[in-house]
Amino acid sequence: GNLACVYYEQGLIDLAVDTYRRAIDLQPNFPDAYCNLANALKEKSQVTEAEDCYQTALRLCPTHADSLNNLANIKREQGFVEEATRLYLKALEVFPEFAAAHSNLASVLQQQGKLSEFRQRLLMLTQTWATP
């Protein structure tokens, strides 16, 4: 897994994908490996396969916050805004300090024209990170 992450960070996406797949073969019940593989697949525009990997990670660990957030991003890009909103909220239930999920949720609320909820989310976001 660590070697695959190094490959991914260096932009060697194909090598990262192969290494994540080998890690999954060795440890098929590790949700982080599926999430990381999904991230690499999404980078290669293999969105359907990435979505399947996020779903697998969530079957293994329904509270896997990164997979919830990243799957929500895919759903949003596909136009499934309500489902994306639900997934962002679930990620935040699991990990209330998850900055990316807060930001993504605020953005999707703005996209939906839910401006009062958007403002409320931004206020929560600034209060969360303004407190020492």
The secondary structure of 61-97, three-state, reads: CCCCHHHHHHHHHHHHHCCCHHHHHHHHHHHHHHCCC
The owner of tokens 């929560």 is 124
For each of the domains in the chain, give its residue range(s) and CATH number, in order of start.
1-61 (1.25.40.10), 63-132 (1.25.40.10)
Rounded to 10°, the helix 2-9/13-26 angle is 170
pLDDT at 131: 60
Per-residue pLDDT tens over the stretch 87-125: 999 999 999 989 899 889 989 988 888 888 878 877 777
53 has pLDDT over 90? yes
CA–CA separation, 52 and 55 (whole Å): 5
pTM: 0.89
Helix (H, G, I), strand (E, B) or coil at 113: coil
